[in-house]
Amino acid sequence: MVVTLLVVFVLASFVGVEIISKVPQTLHTPLMSGSNAVSGITVVGAIAATGMVDSPVAQWLGFVALVLATINVVGGYLVTDRMLQMFKKREPAKQGDTRAGDGR
Amino acid sequence: MSTLVNLAYLAAAALFIIGIKRMNSPATARAGNRLSAVGMLIAIVATLASARILSPWMIAGGLALGTVLGILLAVRVQMTQMPEMVAALNGLGGAASALVAWAEVSRYTAAQAEGFAGSAFARHGLAALDGRLVITITLSVLIGAVTFSGSFVAFGKLNGKISGNPVSFPGMRLVTSLLALVAVAAVAFPLVMLGDSGFDAGPLAVSTLVLGVVALVLGVLLVIPIGGADMPVVVSLLNSYSGLAAAATGFVLENQALIVSGALVGASGIILSKIMCDAMNRSLLNVLVGGFGGGAAEGGARSAAGLTVRTVTPDDAAVLLAYAGQVVVVPGYGLAVAQAQHVIRELVDLVQARGVRVKYAIHPVAGRMPGHMNVLLAEANVPYDQLFEMDEINDEFERTDAVLVIGANDVVNPAARTDPSSPIYGMPILNVDRARNVIVLKRSMAAGYSGVENELFYLPRTGMLFGDARKSLERLVQEIKAL
């Protein structure tokens, strides 16, 4: 079991490296906040911990973890969405010939 | 049942990967982020459906509370505060991982309180404590707590509540090293005590408590000596840690969703940190060892002596801009501080209407986060095809009539090219000094984040316009309208 999990971990790391290397610098801030939201996946562990009624201490620790991780997930995705929403192409009806640089 | 749940986790992981992959273009990024969010929803629903949930109200309450707080934070935060927002959210994620690990430990101690540990563990569905559990639980606590305190120090440095200067005290390295040793010992202690029975949770409980405290202090000590200008690299690295903490928690709970997502974030954070360091021509180690900006005095003092600065009046600057063939705008952190992104857009619109070509030159580390300027300018509706990266625009400065530098300093300092004694020597910069005219909007003659004097400000072709960037830009707008 441990070996399987390690295999999963290592392969996923390679995937992470591969997909990030291609993201342009323009999008690094939203990328950081988006991947940060993914790390909120701890919420899954927190749910499991909060479900454990056999130890009240574990349950409350889990509860606090659940709140924090949910903030991380919800806040992270929303903030990323707010940022990305602003990346627009030039509106079609804009004045002037400013297009001399051929952009990207 | 468990197969279904694991398939759901697999779907979630796939969505995370596709989502992040779509972030490689502004056109698909938003949809990508939403895909990733859908993946998260799937993972949460699958967990809710599968976990042995005996306290539904507590879980519903936790999810609801976190959601409300998350929405409030996300809606209220201003675009200029994005870097510290990411740092804070990241800290919460780290804390959550550490807490989940502690919860696991307290289940063991609670079960053990009932009597003979071995059978009590089994009664509560707990596996015997083996090396894997001990290592992953202690690592979760260690990485999670370091991420938490480190992220909040970065948060403080980014919003100015903590000094942006590198902070250190005599013997700090020694204290940090000693604490690191204590941390290693705290991980090793329960392993040694484990023997082959695996039925005593006591050493693990002690170890994770000690580790928690040590890791919190370590997080502070590791981040506080690093200068504010390097915080983006630190936040990215801490983001990586929070991923690793999640992965470690995944090993504790044998949960593949946590492991895959954690590994993705862990790897991407490290790569992103490396990309940023490359942009500054420094190694990651150099950034982490810190001190950049503290001992900078000797290198820079030279240029300040005996040189005079030429100030320029707003009406002169307005004429320069309005009658130029090509203008390049170089935004920096000052633009963010002054919230001047909308005014600069207004100014550029006016100038463009007069037939001037305007381009924005974005240095990779302008602002407090890579892409920080892009986000701000996007907020002001500046089309992203007017933004040019350093390599794309550096050859154009020689053909540029006027450069407008707004609150940027180190990224336009020619000393990085010419003065081997300068601490920023070797950092790629925007070659603003090669343009025909340079207008620098700046609050005062204070040095940049690196603490280095900037020769650019003393060049004969440079005119300084002192004051708050937004106020200065507003005056420029008035002057150009009056032309």
- B278-296: pLDDT as tens digits: 777 778 887 777 655 443 3
Whether the pLDDT of residue B299 is over 80: the answer is: no
Residue A19 burial by Cβ neighbours in a 10 Å radius (0-12, 13-18, 19+):
buried
Where are any strands of DSSP class E within B180-299?
A: none
Q: How far apart are CA B351 and CA B331, in angstroms?
A: 17
Nearest to A8 among B33, B34, B259 (CB): B259
| Catalytic site residue from B278, B315, B385, B410 | B410
Judge contact between B118 and B197, C-beta under 8 A: yes
Calpha distance B105→B30 (Å, rounded):
39
pLDDT the model gives residue B289:
74
CB A30 within 8 A of CB A83: yes
Query: With pLDDT > 90 as the criterion, what percentage of chain B qualifies?
Result: 39
What's the CA gap between A81 and A84, in Å, rounded?
A: 5
Nearest-Cα distance to chain A for B354, in Å, is 8
Highest mean pLDDT among B244-248, B283-287, B381-385: B244-248
Give the span between the Cα atoms of B210 and B392, in whole angstroms.
Answer: 51
User: Which range, of A24-28, B50-54, B218-222, averages the lowest pLDDT?
Assistant: B50-54
Distance between A93 CA and the closest CA of chain B, angstroms: 12
Q: Which residues of A touch B389 (CB under 8 A)?
A: 25-26
Closest partner residue to B74 (CB to CB) among A25, A48, A79 is A79
Listed range (A88-92, B258-262, B377-381, B458-462) with the worst mean pLDDT: A88-92
CA B419, B422, B427, B431 torsion-angle sign:
negative
The DSSP result for B308-375, as a single string, is ---B--HHHHHHHHHT-SEEEEEE-HHHHHTT-HHHHHHHHHHHHHTT-EEEEEE-TT-TTSTTHHHH
Residue B129 reports pLDDT greater than 50: yes
Q: Do A32 and B27 touch (CB under 8 A)?
A: no
Cβ neighbours of B36 in A, within 8 Å:
34, 37-38, 77
pLDDT digits (tens, 9 = 90+) for B428-458: 889 999 999 999 998 877 666 566 678 888 8
Close Cβ partners of B420 (under 8 Å, ≥ 6 residues apart): none
Chain B environment of A20 (Cβ under 8 Å): 20, 267-268, 271-272
Cβ neighbours of B85 in A, within 8 Å: 33, 75, 79
Nearest CA-CA distance, residue B427 and chain A, Å: 17
User: Do B414 and B455 form a contact (C-beta atoms < 8 A)?
Assistant: yes
Q: Per-residue pLDDT averaged across B248-259, rounded?
A: 88
Nearest Cβ partner for A35 among B20, B85, B124? B20
Task: Please give the single-letter amino acid code of residue B116.
Answer: F
Other C-beta atoms closer than 10 Å to the C-beta of B98 total 30
- Sign for the CA dihedral angle at A23, A25, A27, A30 comes to positive
Rounded Cα distance, B305 and B303, in Å: 6
Task: Name which of A20-24, B13-17, B55-59 the model is least confident about.
Answer: A20-24
Alpha-carbon distance values, B292 to B95, B299, B392, B420 (Å): 29, 12, 28, 16
Chain B residues inside the 8 Å CB shell of A53:
54-55
Interface test with chain A among B384, B394, B399, by most A beta carbons within 10 Å: B384
Tell me which residue in A30, A37, A47 faces B47 most closely, judged by beta carbons: A47
Show Cβ contacts of residue B83 under 8 Å, excluding neighbours closer than 6 positions: A29, B158, B231, B232, B235, B367, B368, B369, B372
Q: How far apart are CA B339 and CA B413, in angstroms?
A: 23
pLDDT (mean) for B36-56 = 84
Average pLDDT of span B95-110: 90
Query: What integer is the mean pLDDT of B103-116?
Result: 83
Per-residue tokens: B112: 């053990």
Closest chain A CA to residue B105: A58
Fill in the amino acid letter for A51: G
> With contact defined as beta carbons under 8 Å apart, do B212 and B148 qualify?
no
Q: Kindly state the average pLDDT of the residues B452-465.
A: 85
pLDDT of A103 higher than 50 = no
Q: Is B410 a catalytic residue?
A: yes
The tally of CA atoms less than 13 A away on the side-chain side of residue B434 is 11
Between B159 and B219, whose confidence is greater? Answer: B219
Q: What is the predicted ipTM? A: 0.84
Give me chain A's average pLDDT, please.
79
Show the tokens assigned to B84: 């510290």
- Residue A48 has a pLDDT of 79
How do strand B462-466 and strand B387-389 relate by DSSP bridges? Answer: unpaired
Inter-chain residue contact B20 with A26, CB threshold 8 Å: no
Confidence of residue B138 (pLDDT cuts 50, 70, 90): very high
- State how beta strands B326-331 and B402-406 pair: parallel
- B437 SS3 class: strand
Q: Is the pLDDT of residue B222 over 70?
A: yes
Mean pLDDT of chain B: 85
Residue closest to B20 by CA, chosen among A51, A100, A94, A37: A37
pLDDT, residue A96, reads 40
Q: Which of B26-30, B271-275, B394-398 has the highest mean pLDDT?
A: B394-398
pLDDT recorded at residue B52: 64
* Average pLDDT of span B127-131: 80
* B244, closest residue in chain A (CA to CA): A39
- Predicted TM-score of the model (pTM): 0.79
Instruction: Give the C-alpha distances (Å, rounded to integers) separating B266 from A35, A76, B146, B261, B415.
Output: 9, 16, 15, 8, 35
